């Protein structure tokens, strides 16, 4: 069972969604308040059922929000970002060397986020 680990930073609050093995699957932005961070967690729970838009292929099909966007970063690694219904980015992944690993990360979010407990980190 995954968990959302919420922690205070110098400028606010953020969360990491961790898989049952302790690996970080997705990370949030920094929110100004703890309640805004908790709302972000609820957004991830609601939006993780979204489709996948693979921006790494030419002429990719646009998927409506909420959605996961798969893209390559400047280092050539594969990443995903989860966007809410309003188009805001609510969680991002680490960089993956291979696209299948990135897609597995998305599946892990879909599997873990809905039931993940929230803990203080």
Q: What is the per-residue DSSP string for the chain?
A: --EEEEEE-SSSEEEEEE-TTS-EEEE---BSSHHHHHHHHHHHHHHTT-EEEETTSTTPPP-PSSEEEEEE-TTS-EEEEEE-TTS-EEEE---BSSHHHHHHHHHHHHHHGGG-EEEE-
**Bond preceding residue 66 cis, omega within 30 of 0:** yes
Q: Smallest Cα–Cα separation from 16: which of 114, 110, 111, 109?
A: 109
CATH topology of domain 3-120: PH-domain like (2.30.29)
- pLDDT recorded at residue 69: 98
pTM of the model as a whole? 0.94
Confidence bin at 6 (pLDDT 50/70/90): very high
CA distances from 109 to 7, 53, 74 (A): 19, 15, 24
Residue-wise pLDDT tens digits, 97-119: 999 999 999 999 999 999 999 99
Q: Is the pLDDT of residue 26 over 90?
A: yes
Residue 95 pLDDT grade (very low, low, confident, very high; cuts 50, 70, 90): very high
Mean pLDDT across 57-61: 95
pLDDT for res 1:
85
Per-residue pLDDT at 121: 86
User: Mean pLDDT throughout 72-88?
Assistant: 97
- Of 5, 8, 23, 6, nearest to 101 by C-alpha is 23
Q: Give the pLDDT confidence score for residue 105 in this predicted structure.
A: 97
Q: Mean pLDDT, the chain, as a whole number?
A: 96
């Amino acid at each position: 069972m995954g968990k959302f680990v919420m922690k205070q930073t110098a400028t606010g609050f953020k969360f990491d969604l961790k898989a049952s093995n302790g690996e970080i699957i997705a990370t949030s932005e920094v929110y100004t308040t703890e309640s805004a961070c908790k709302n972000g967690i609820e957004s991830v729970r609601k939006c993780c059922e979204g489709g996948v838009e693979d921006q790494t292929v030419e002429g990719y099909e646009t998927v409506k929000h909420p959605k996961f966007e798969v893209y390559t970063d400047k280092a050539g690694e594969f990443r995903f970002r989860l966007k809410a219904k309003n188009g805001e980015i609510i969680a991002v992944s680490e960089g993956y060397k291979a696209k299948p690993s990135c897609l597995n990360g998305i599946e892990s979010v879909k599997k873990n986020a809905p039931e993940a407990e929230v803990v203080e980190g």
